[in-house]
Amino acid sequence: MLAVVLCLFIISPALAWIPLEDWDSGNVTTSVGESGQCLCHVFLPDTSFPADRVEHMQQVSKDMILEVKIQMNKMVSYEAKLNVYLKELSDLNVRVAMLETSPDKYIKLDFELLRIELREFEALVTQLRESLNSSSPIFDSLYTEIRNMTLIVNQLETYDKSNLDVIRIEFAKLQKKLKDCQEDQEFIQPDIGNCNHTGILKISKPMVVQLNAHLNSGYQYGGWGKDSKPIRGYESMYYYGGYSGAHVYDFYLYSNYDKLILRSEFKRHHIPSAYVGTGNNYIVHGNSIYYQHDVGMCKLNLTSSRYDFRAVSDASGSFSYSYSPNQNLDFAADENGLWVLYASDESRGKMIIAKVDEKSFGIEDKWNTGVYKQLVGNAFMACGIMYATRPVDLNTEEIFYAFDTKTGEEKQLSITFPKFQERYTNLDYNPMDQKLYMYNNGYYVSYNVRFNRG
């Protein structure tokens, strides 16, 4: 009798799709089982794992997570503001309801004014919702309140009433709130990167965060802010440096705003004695810190910790800003790149604007202005225009001068804004959020900038 031998092939399911003709006989082994059956083992290594696609997927996932965080931060900011105006609308709705229940106490009013205000409010809510590209319960509630009030106004218009002075006052308040909201809307929705305007129109009220990270009022010199040209993954990074004198010897880096407030840095750069800086007008731009060393430019790369130095041949150490000594070189950044502001003996103390070539770390162009540096409290660049400030009184600062590097024109201005305290040592514009960052007598202070777009 002939014995029947069964041969069982053991093959990984993930490799079952490989054609038989591609199998290598050298990868096949046979053996006999306990019951005498033939067992065939096939080893098929998989060398076609799509590593490049997985890496691409991981990068896309990181980008999506970053974008979601940005949109979530926008939503929190807008919804907080909308909550305030929703409450104001609710209060006004109550007062209008009181009118409806006691119609005999009021005289006829020009109700068209209220209709106009309500239409403006509705347009504002629409603009906010479109800016977020989404809806929310707050938006829906606002629309409901506006529609209800419009219906009530239409009903009240049919009455012949008396003594509506109180309602006129409420209308005036609503009109002012609408105006303020529209102005705030321009502040909180800056048109980043767009220089299609005629210059700065207004500076917001100051936002004071806290005393410096050292929590010491003696640290009156220093600076803080964000990278004006951040590399990928560091868009939320903040920097800070505070000192008891007009010298620069270390910097602290924080991964985000919350870490700054909690004083929880992720990196500290201690500057060696050979590169200790002077003055306080430094910035972070393109993942490098630019600061003054003697009467020259110093650059510290935050990744490699490499230092570079370039002398500014015509810069003078005799002309500082009015608020503090040794501020001979003032670094600034805007939509057009990196700048350094200073004065020379040849210019007789008048400010010079110099464009810095970031690759060669040298001066590529210069403009002579007509403003004396020693009369200036501080200066900054925005869209290629230098703005100079001076004190008006103990609590008020004024942008009084502007020089446009595109046209060579200079202007006298009077754009006032409040100061938290009298003296400050650092004022810089950041094109990434269109804010001014001020180090004001040891305090973190920031301002929103509104441009005149016609």
Q: What pLDDT does 57 receive?
A: 65
Mean of pLDDT values over 11-30: 51
Beta bridge partners of 436: 429, 447
Q: In sequence order, what are the residues at sequence separation of 6 or more whose Cβ sits closer than 8 angstroms to the Cβ of residue 16?
A: none
**Cβ burial 73-94 (10 Å sphere, 16+ → b, else e):** ebeeebbeebeebbeebeebbe
Query: How distant is the alpha carbon of residue 286 from its chain centre?
Result: 15
Whether residue 345 has pLDDT greater than 90: yes
- Which DSSP state fits 279? S
More confident residue, 321 or 16: 321
Q: What pLDDT does 42 receive?
A: 56
Mean of pLDDT values over 44-59: 60
In percent, how much of the chain has pLDDT > 70?
60
- Which DSSP state fits 134? S
- Which DSSP state fits 286? T
Mean of pLDDT values over 432-442: 94
Residue 14: pLDDT band by 50, 70, 90 thresholds? very low
As a residue count, the chain comes to 454
Residue 190: pLDDT band by 50, 70, 90 thresholds? confident
Residue 226 burial (10 A CB sphere; 0-12, 13-18, 19+): buried
Domain extents in the chain: 7-42, 73-188, 200-451
What distance in Å separates the CA atoms of residue 195 and residue 282, rounded to the nearest whole number?
24
What distance in Å separates the CA atoms of residue 191 and residue 256, rounded to the nearest whole number?
22
Whether residue 406 has pLDDT greater than 90: yes
Residue 423: pLDDT band by 50, 70, 90 thresholds? confident
Q: What pLDDT does 7 receive?
A: 46
Provide the token pair at 21: 């003709």
What distance in Å separates the CA atoms of residue 221 and residue 244, rounded to the nearest whole number?
6
Q: How many CB atoms lie within 10 A of CB 434?
A: 24
Q: What pLDDT does 440 receive?
A: 93
Q: What pLDDT does 82 receive?
A: 66
What distance in Å separates the CA atoms of residue 401 and residue 388, rounded to the nearest whole number?
5
State how far the alpha carbon of 407 is from the alpha carbons of 71, 120, 206, 365, 410, in Å: 38, 38, 31, 14, 9
What top-level class would CATH report for the domain 200-451? mainly beta
By mean pLDDT, which of 136-150, 182-196, 206-220, 221-235 is the weakest?
136-150
Whether residue 77 has pLDDT greater than 70: no
Q: Are 283 and 331 in contact (CB under 8 A)?
A: yes
Question: How do residues 262-274 score in pLDDT, each as one tens digit?
Answer: 999 999 999 999 9
Mean of pLDDT values over 185-191: 65
Residue 452: φ, ψ to 5°: -85, 100
Write down the mean pLDDT value for the chain. 79
Maximum distance among all Cα pairs of the chain, rounded to whole angstroms: 121
CA angle, 436 then 176 then 419, to 5°: 30
Q: Are 151 and 182 in contact (CB under 8 A)?
A: no
Residue 342: φ, ψ to 5°: -160, 180
What distance in Å separates the CA atoms of residue 42 and residue 241, rounded to the nearest whole number?
66
What distance in Å separates the CA atoms of residue 381 and residue 428, rounded to the nearest whole number?
8
Question: How do residues 212-225 score in pLDDT, each as one tens digit?
Answer: 989 888 999 999 99
Helix (H/G/I), strand (E/B), else coil: 131: helix
Residue 185: pLDDT band by 50, 70, 90 thresholds? low
Q: How many CB atoms lie within 10 A of CB 286?
A: 17
What distance in Å separates the CA atoms of residue 405 and residue 386, rounded to the nearest whole number?
8
Q: What pLDDT does 191 receive?
A: 82
Provide the token pair at 203: 């500076």
Helix (H/G/I), strand (E/B), else coil: 52: helix
Question: How do residues 110-151 score in pLDDT, each as one tens digit?
Answer: 566 666 767 767 777 676 666 655 555 666 666 666 676 676
Helix (H/G/I), strand (E/B), else coil: 300: strand
Residue 430: pLDDT band by 50, 70, 90 thresholds? very high
Whether residue 211 has pLDDT greater than 50: yes
